[in-house]
Chain A
C-alpha cells in the first residue's frame, strides 16, 4: 500500500468548511484513496473514496489532484459532531483490509 502523510491536527470553526489534506506521492494507478473517521473510540466510519475523479456524497467531497499524488477531504459545513480523527488510506485494489496511519485529529470549535 502507498504511504500517506497527513497533518497531525487541525482546527476548524463551526459552520465553516473543513479541508483535510493528504499526500500520497507514491500512489500507483490502481490504488484508491479512502477516507474514514473515528469519533472518540467508536468504530471507524467510512466517509468517501475515489480513484481519479472528484467524488461527492452526503457527508463530504473528495478532491484528487490530476497527478493523484495528493487529495483533500472537504466537510462543507463542519459541526461539533465532526470532531474526530480522520484517516486517509491508499490501498491496492486487491483484498480489502485497511492500513491505518496516524490520521488528522480535527477539532471543530464553536
Chain B
C-alpha cells in the first residue's frame, strides 16, 4: 500500500459526459501528479500540483483540468469525454519539502479505470 488513495476504482460513462477523479496523497505530501495510461500511449504525465498551485504541465488536453485543495487532495476533471479517453488514470504524490525540491520518490495510487462507451 503506497498510502495514495484514488477513487473511484472503476468508472463507466458515455461519450460527451463529465467525470471527476479524486486523489488523496500520502499524509504530509505536498505534491500531487496525474498520469494517464492507455494501451497505445503508455504512461503519460498530465499535470503536477504543489501545495495548491500548478507546478508543471504535460500532455493534458484542454478538456481536462485539475486542482489541489487546501487539504491537499486533488481532483482531475475530464469533460466532453471521447472514446479515446478510456484509460487508467494514476495519481502520485511526493513530499516536496519546498517548491524546488528535487530528487524525490513518487508514490503512486492504484489508479482509476475509466471506460467511455
A: which residues have CB within 8 A of B? 32, 38, 41-46, 49, 87, 93-102
CA distance A91 to B96 in the complex (A): 16
Q: Which residue of A lies closest to B108 (CB)?
A: A43
Q: Is the CB of A98 within 8 A of B2?
A: no
| A43 and B4 contacting across the interface, CB-CB below 8 Å | yes
A99: nearest residue on chain B (CB-CB)? B45
| Interface residues in B, total, Cβ within 8 A | 29
Are A97 and B33 in contact, CB atoms less than 8 angstroms apart?
yes
Can you sample 20 A-B contacts with CB below 8 Å?
A: A43-B4, A43-B92, A43-B108, A44-B92, A44-B108, A46-B107, A49-B103, A49-B105, A93-B103, A94-B100, A94-B102, A95-B48, A95-B55, A96-B31, A96-B94, A96-B96, A97-B45, A97-B48, A99-B45, A100-B43
For the complex with contacts A44-B43, A46-B107, 18 further pairs of A-B residues with Cβ separation under 8 Å are A43-B2, A43-B92, A43-B108, A43-B111, A44-B92, A45-B2, A46-B106, A49-B103, A49-B105, A93-B102, A94-B102, A95-B56, A96-B33, A96-B48, A97-B48, A98-B45, A100-B44, A100-B45
